Amino acid sequence: MIERTLFTSDHESFRDSFRRFIDKEIAPFHAEWEEQGYVDRKVWNKAGENGFLCMSMPEQYGGSEADKLYSVIQFEEVARAGVSGIGFSLHSEIVAPYILHYGTEEQKAKYLPKLASGEMIGAIAMSEPAAGSDLQGVKTTALQQPDGSYLLNGSKTFITNGWHADLVVVVAKTNPTAGGKGTSLVLVERGMPGFSVGKRLKKVGMKAQDTSELFFDNVKIPAENLLGGKAMENKGFICLMEQLPWERLQIAIGAVASAQAAIDWTVDYVKERKVFGQPVAAFQNTRFTLAELQTEVQVARVFVDKCCELICQDKLDTATASMAKYWTTDLQCKVMDECVQLFGGYGYMWEYPIARAYADARVQRIYGGTNEIMKEVITRSMGLGGK
């Protein structure tokens, strides 16, 4: 195995600390959370108390000013442990950065410290019933009123952290006739009149991750809740495009870590499980299958680690991030399927982590932009754009 050079000793010390947190505060309760369809709110507070939320945010806003590699470690450890219900990554490395990069000083001071402490849980609302990966097809509107406020109407679906969310970054059209150029981001707080959370959606996998529908019925959004203020009106699509490389890389990081975890579980299992009087590992098919999977995951990890280096240098482009997202999530699903097969009937039992990881993996090829969309992005970077 190639030695990873991405992390320092400080990074690895942090990995040990965060792994202990998962083992103590998350893993023992995750099965219960899968049954209820959401994680307990108190785990967010404990994560905040331990400094595990919004780590890359500046200290003045409650963060640690840590480099992104600390967040990479968190993504990897959550995937390794198979605790897919934890929505820390979206909260800390998608929602908070939107506010940090594009928000006004007042918005940063108001929201970021509460996100870092776990007092507030954040979500981002992009997907709609009729507009999944097509962000330009958003129908939700936020129309300015004579008093300067905005009236928000529409609905969103498949929203991670939606059930718990205290703050939602909502993608809406402030100029419905301008296509993507009429998109803005508005900050919606829990309790605003007209804002309601729908049912928790029952999913094939990621059962402990609260995923909800959100509804906006004439929600009055104060002018100061337009992300970035008036200067950022109708510039939401640009913001979304700028953040997509990091968001898609996060999915790739988790995909590789999850695939490696599946291989590790399977290696342990086939050594112990006996068939026809000998360990499953004694069969050439088992060994060759695992050799092929490990090789592909190793190749993927080297590529993803390189992408992590680029993101830390602000050099990761959208096409490369799309390559990482599509390739690694396809591989993740392949690895899960092969490993379930090697587990035999036990691989289909929910009590085994490989079964849960198998169910959790499938959505990876869908969210963050479907893998078909990823291929469109890649081809356009090659000068092969379609209509």
| 189 in active site | no
Average of per-residue pLDDT across 59-66: 96
Residues 242 and 359 in one domain: yes
Residue 239 confidence (pLDDT) above 70: yes
Residues 150 and 162 in one domain: yes
Residues 16 and 89 in one domain: yes
Q: Any idea what the CATH number is for the domain that residue 37 is in?
A: 1.10.540.10
Q: Any idea what the CATH number is for the domain that residue 202 is in?
A: 2.40.110.10
pLDDT: is 133 or 224 the higher one?
Answer: 224
Give the confidence band of 130 by pLDDT, cuts at 50, 70, 90.
Answer: confident
Question: How high is the mean pLDDT of the chain?
Answer: 96
Whether residue 4 lies inside any domain: the answer is: no
Least confident of 186-190, 310-314, 383-387: 383-387
Per residue in 268-326, pLDDT tens? 999 999 999 999 999 999 999 999 999 999 999 999 999 999 999 999 999 999 999 99
Degrees (nearest 5) of the Cα angle 284, 255, 64?
A: 135
**Of residues 93, 128, 247, 309, which has the active-site annotation?**
247
Tell me the whole-structure pTM to 2 decimals: 0.95
Instruction: Domain count for the chain, please give it.
Output: 3
The pLDDT value recorded for residue 132 is 66
Residues 41 and 165 in one domain: no
Average of per-residue pLDDT across 204-219: 96
Residue 194 confidence (pLDDT) above 90: yes
Residues 74 and 169 in one domain: no
Per residue in 168-181, pLDDT tens? 999 999 999 998 89
Residues 176 and 250 in one domain: no
Residues 244 and 217 in one domain: no
Give the confidence band of 58 by pLDDT, cuts at 50, 70, 90.
Answer: very high
Question: 202, 234, 266: which is the final residue of a domain?
Answer: 234
Residue 258 confidence (pLDDT) above 70: yes
- CA atoms of 33 and 206, how far apart (whole Å): 10
Q: Which domain holds residue 195?
A: 122-234
Give the confidence band of 386 by pLDDT, cuts at 50, 70, 90.
Answer: low
